[in-house]
Every structure is written in structure tokens, then in C-alpha cells.
Amino acid sequence: MDNVTVGSTNPVKLEATKEAFELIDKRVDITPKDVNSGVSNQPTSDDEAIQGAINRARKVIRAAGVTYGVGIEGSTHDTERGMFLTGWAYLLKKDGTDYLGGGGRLLLPDAIAERLRTGEELGPVMNEITGKDEVKKGPGAIGIFTNGIITRKSAYRDALIFAMSKMIRADMYK
């Protein structure tokens, strides 16, 4: 059984990682580790979020006995069509092989996007709007806006599976 350390203690990221490995029929033991992403608390570009995910995975792969390090980072990305919510997953194998995948993109309401542009973070904004605590440890904004059809966990799981495609179909990535 391989040991996987996730660069976060957020239960959503841990469950997303567990489900992703289960879906590719890989038995793993998952350990959370709280690490700093080295980027802003609210990444505002794909590049920043990718770097945060990479930083998380690199920090946790250093521990003894770890086979895979996982970094998952949510972010927003402003476009001429509005601000989108997305996420990135980075998987780093102890031998240096790496895997990167991105999630879907959800258009945020203009009122929320404007608040984020002024420096607020999405998590607290969603807590305020919904009247719930710790939305990011549950359905996330994605779950709120899709009525639970797609949740933060499933979006991160899919981003990690997209990253794993290079592992799943190694024959195609040679």
C-alpha cells in the first residue's frame, strides 16, 4: 500500500484524494499535513493556484515513507466574461514524476466577484451569504451554486483524476 500525504487538513481535500485513488483502484493510506501554500490565501490566477498546489505537494513529499505528495489549491480567474472559480491538483511521486490537473470553471455572481476583487476571500464571503460556517469544509461555493450536483469535493476529486490521467494511461503519455 502506498502512502499519500495531502498538503492540507481540510476534510474536503482529504476525501477528494481518497476518492480519486479509489476510482483508479489504487490502495493508499492518506495522511493530512498542514502546510503553507506559499501563495495568497485567495489565489487569483491559474498560475498562482498551480504554484500553490505544487508547493504543497513538494513540502509533504519530503517526509519519510511518503510515496505521493498531493497539493490541491482552489482559485479564481478573472476574464472579460467574468470571474470564474476553479481548482488545481498536483500529484508528486517520490521519484520526481509529477502530474497536474485542473477542474471545471464556475462563473461567480458579479456581486461576489466584486468583493473578491477588493481583497476578500471566497470562504468567508460564502459563509456570510449562506449563513453557514465553514462552507469550504462542506459543499463549497461550487456546491452552493449547483445545488449540490457538483461539490467542492467532487470538483477537486476530478481535478486530481485529470492529473492522474498521465498515470492511468501512461502508455499514451510516452
Domains defined for the chain, CATH in brackets: 2-107+151-172 (3.90.950.10)
Rounded CA separation 6/42 (Å): 19
pTM of the predicted protein model = 0.94
Low-confidence ranges of the chain (pLDDT < 70): none
Rounded CA separation 40/67 (Å): 27
pLDDT tens per residue, range 138-157: 899 999 999 999 999 999 99
Query: What is residue 130's predicted lDDT score, i.e. its pLDDT?
Result: 94
